[in-house]
Chain A
Amino acid sequence: MVPLSWYIILSSVMFSIGVFGFLTRRNLLIIFISIELMLNSVNISFVAFSHYLQSMRGQIMVFFVITVAAAEAAIGLAILIAYYKNNPTIRVDEINLLKG
């Protein structure tokens, strides 16, 4: 049986990769994927803890997270497309109109 700590380590690694990607990449699509990566790392730890604690609560949370992630992806992609129609770029360092 795989010990709990392995799941936690996997989850942490995935989350860190997600954060790293989120901070360093300039392509908006990659940033979205990074966000998905972070959300899913959280899902993994939820499921792991759910199994470890013999409780269904964690798995219920996972469904919520998946739902939110789906909605977020839908809205995010919609904004992205709308923006691309006006400004043919998806590089975030070029999307900088909101500066002081």
Chain B
Amino acid sequence: MLKYTLIPLLPFISFIINILFGRNYIKDKAHWIAVPAVAGSFVLAVSAFFDVLGGHDVNINLYSWIASGDFTVSVGLLIDQLSAIMLIVVTSIGTLIFIYSIGYMHGDGGYYRFFAYLSLFVFSMLMLVMGNNFLVMYFGWEAVGLCSYFLIGFWFHKKSAGDAGKKAFIVNRFGDFGFGLGVILIYLTFGSLEYMQVFDKAGSIAGQTINLLGYDVSLVTLICLLLFCGAVGKSAQIPLHVWLPDAMEGPTPVSALIHAATMVTAGVFMVARCNPLFSMSPVAMNTVAVIGGLTAIFAATIALVQNDIKRVIAYSTVSQLGYMFLALGVGAYSAGIFHLYTHAYFKALLFLGSGSVIHALHHAGHHDEQNMQKMGGLKKHMPITYKVFVLATLSITGIPFFSGFFSKDEILWRAYLGGDLGKFLWFLGALAALLTAFYSWRLIFLTFHGTFRGTHEQEHHIHESPPVITVPLMFLAFGAVFAGYVGVPPIFLKHGDKIGEFLAPVLGHPAGHGTHAEEIFVILVSIAVAVGGWLIAYKMYIKSTELPQKMENRFQWIHKVLFNKYYIDELYSKTLIHPVLKASDKIILGFDTYVIEGIVNGVPNLIGAFSRKFREIQTGMLSNYALVMAIGAVCIVGIWIFLK
């Protein structure tokens, strides 16, 4: 039992030590505490994974957190197949990124603070995935959001970073509001927050409705949609995706760990965890699938024209998260989790690779270190980074027998089987895959091929990053290539879908069966779009490099819309942020100035004015005092005599 408790506790201890003693004592040795802690978690997580593999699930209550009448909540850990996979993903990628950060953050003034927050994040994320009830999940959910806020705004002296942190936090609030309501509704409905009890009773509420603003709404649909609100916020789906690209203001390891591999997938995990509820509501499932499909294509189109290397990858993340929700929505929960798992490796690798590029350019004195238009030809200067980047790109674009191929193909295949809506979503997914291939290769070609578009002086100073950065990249590259082999589709290898079988006790088997011919057709389409995307990118950025400019001039307004991200930020600014700010101004002027400050300042002013009058009694004139004394004495005597 201690073993399981230690998994989240080790990073937490690292956080406590670093945050308390980091500033004065530990300073630039913070990693000596943080890295062993998270590596220890990883070892324990692997051991827990094998326990689960051996059929030994864990469901323990550590202590009673809240006990108020009928309402009891424990802090408890649940390690089943689903959380075991999440544990492996979080701790393995966490360990590699912690090591990478030693090199990347070297010499930063907030070194200890970085590792403290990163440790706190790992603790929160582990609590999120390991909790055995909704409140512990909610705790982890909010805590990872808090850490995300801390780390996006890590370089808080930059205004854009502070703004991005606030944006992430506030946008997430919209989603979390729904999530919180969902948790409350679950408690009101089931009288418990424990997963096992809730899911056991889930069948009993089928067909129940709840009156909402005069409409009868299916209870389970309402619960699922409220929970999904939280997932939309945390996993950056339409319409709350706006925070994730801005979150790239944070240090690159943060983007890799929090905004690619783990935290943003919390929404996927949560929907998968609640699959007994979601499966009961076709409306909610279709919502999830459609939002996912639309996000996948929507974010991919934006990524086509962005020039900031991290923003391209960020939109790619949004798009891939869309894929995962697409899978969940068509009932292929294990495919969604499978993609979560493979995506974590290749996307973390892409981010860390871009971090390696940014790091090198920064040290070469490049001032526009994230602008791909100012890069080029880095292949010969950074051979290791280039190679791992290519491997990650092969994986994400779904080139056969790289891990992304297996998971993406599984999703597309499951979507294809999902009826008319499924076919439509499959089409969206395949189109998004084409775009993914295009922008991923565009990124590689702009960054690593061609000639360097900065100054000679800068080019002279570009060097490959140190081993502390490149070695984690190589490990991740291994994961990016081979992680998918746990889920080989049965068409290639009988009983190859190990991960699907492994997750089946929690997530069930996806419905729908198709013929071999159909499956081969879907696979061929996937391969075709992956190669097609590469060909288009090759044509535009290697063969005839003047073509992008021509296309930009030709389709100017499309480019403008895409480049400005469909003006969503501007729309929100006009319709939401501006009116709220204006109304707040009014409130400050009217209510705050006159009412609140009126009370706050009025009371002391009144007392002051009163005492100013009252203290004039103290004239300092002896005879006045004597007179008062005499009058007083006369009065006392008078009263004494006349009342006697």
Contacts A98-B618, A99-B618, A100-B618 given; indicate if A19 touches B630 (C-beta within 8 A): yes
**Interface contact A99-B623, CB-CB below 8 Å:** no
**Chain A, range 44-100, C-beta contacts under 8 Å to B:** 92-93, 95-100
- Contact B630–A99 (Cβ < 8 Å): no
User: In whole angstroms, what is the CA distance A93 to B621 when docked?
Assistant: 6
| Beta-carbon contacts under 8 Å, A1-48 to B | 19, 22-24, 26, 31
The smallest beta-carbon distance between A95 and chain B, in angstroms, is 7
Measured in the bound complex, the distance between the Cα atoms of B621 and A26 in whole Å is 10
Q: How far is the CA of A23 from the CA of B629 in the complex (A)?
A: 10
A24's nearest neighbour on chain B, judged by CB, is B623
Point out which of B615, B620, B627 has the most chain A C-beta atoms below 10 A from its C-beta: B620
Beta-carbon nearest neighbor of B616 in chain A: A100
Distance of A26 Cα from B622 Cα, bound (Å): 9
Q: What residues of A have a CB within 8 angstroms of the CB of B623 in the complex?
A: 23-24, 26, 92-93
Q: What sequence of 0s and 1s flags, for each residue 500-517 of chain B, a beta carbon within 8 Å of any chain A beta carbon?
A: 000000000000000000
Please give me the residue from chain B that is nearest to A19 by CB atom.
B630
Shortest CB–CB separation between residue B139 and chain A, in angstroms?
Answer: 58
A14 to B621, CA, bound (A): 25
User: Is the Cβ of B620 less than 8 Å from the Cβ of A98?
Assistant: yes
Q: How many Å from the CB of A96 to the closest CB on chain B?
A: 3
- Pairwise interchain contact A23-B630, C-beta atoms closer than 8 A: yes
Residues from chain B with Cβ under 8 Å of A26 in the complex: 623
* B575 adjacent to chain A (CB < 8 Å): no
- Distance to closest chain A CB from B524 (angstroms): 98
In-complex Cβ contact of B621 among A22, A31, A92 (8 A):
A92
Cα A26 to Cα B619 with chains together (Å) = 15
A99–B620 Cα gap in the complex (Å)?
4
Nearest A residue to B622 via CB reads A92
A23 touches B626 (CB 8 A): yes
* Min CB–CB distance A79 → chain B (angstroms): 12
Q: Closest CB of chain A to B593's CB: distance in Å?
A: 33
* B619 x A96 contact (CB < 8 A): yes
**Distance to closest chain B CB from A93 (angstroms):** 6
- Which B residues are CB-close (under 8 A) to A96? 619-622
B213 within 8 A of A: no
B600 interface hit (Cβ, 8 Å) = no
Which residues of the other chain, B, contact A19 by a CB distance below 8 angstroms?
630
CB distance from A53 to the nearest CB of B (A): 21
A97 to chain B, nearest CB (A): 6
* Nearest CB in chain A: distance from B346 CB, A: 80
**Chain A, Cβ-Cβ closest to B614:** A100
Task: Report how far A64 CA is from B621 CA in the complex, Å.
Answer: 30
A97 to B617, CA, bound (A): 14
Q: Is the CB of B622 within 8 A of A95?
A: yes
How close is B525's CB to chain A, nearest CB, in angstroms?
Answer: 94
Identify the closest chain B residue to A96 (Cβ): B620
Q: How close is B612's CB to chain A, nearest CB, in angstroms? A: 9
- Chain B, range 595-644, C-beta contacts under 8 Å to A: 615-623, 626-627, 630
Closest to B631 in A: A23
Closest chain B residue, CB of each to CB of A97: B620
Docked pose: A73 CA to B630 CA in angstroms: 20
Could you say which of A22, A95, A100 contacts B617, with CB atoms under 8 Å apart? A100
A-chain residues with CB within 8 Å of residue B618 when the two chains form the complex: 98-100
Decide: A99 and B619 in contact? CB cutoff 8 A.
Answer: yes
- For B617, list chain A residues within 8 Å (CB): 100
Give chain A nearest CB distance to B613 CB in angstroms: 10
Bound form: Cα–Cα A95–B615 in Å: 18
A83 CB, min distance to chain B CBs, angstroms:
12
Shortest CB-to-CB span from B608 to chain A, Å, is 13
In the complex, which residue of chain A has the Cβ closest to the Cβ of B634?
A19
- Residues of chain A within 8 A (CB-CB) of B630 are 19, 22-23
B residues with a Cβ closer than 8 A to A are 615-623, 626-627, 630
Would you list 18 pairs from A and B whose C-beta atoms are within 8 A, ordered by A residue?
A22-B630, A23-B627, A24-B623, A92-B621, A92-B622, A92-B623, A93-B621, A93-B623, A95-B622, A96-B619, A96-B620, A97-B620, A99-B618, A99-B619, A99-B620, A99-B621, A100-B616, A100-B620
Top 3 A-B pairs ranked by shortest CB distance? A99-B620, A100-B618, A96-B620
Contacts A23-B627, A95-B620, A100-B619 known; list 17 others, CB within 8 Å: A19-B630, A22-B630, A26-B623, A31-B622, A92-B622, A93-B621, A93-B623, A96-B619, A96-B622, A97-B620, A98-B620, A99-B618, A99-B620, A100-B615, A100-B616, A100-B618, A100-B620
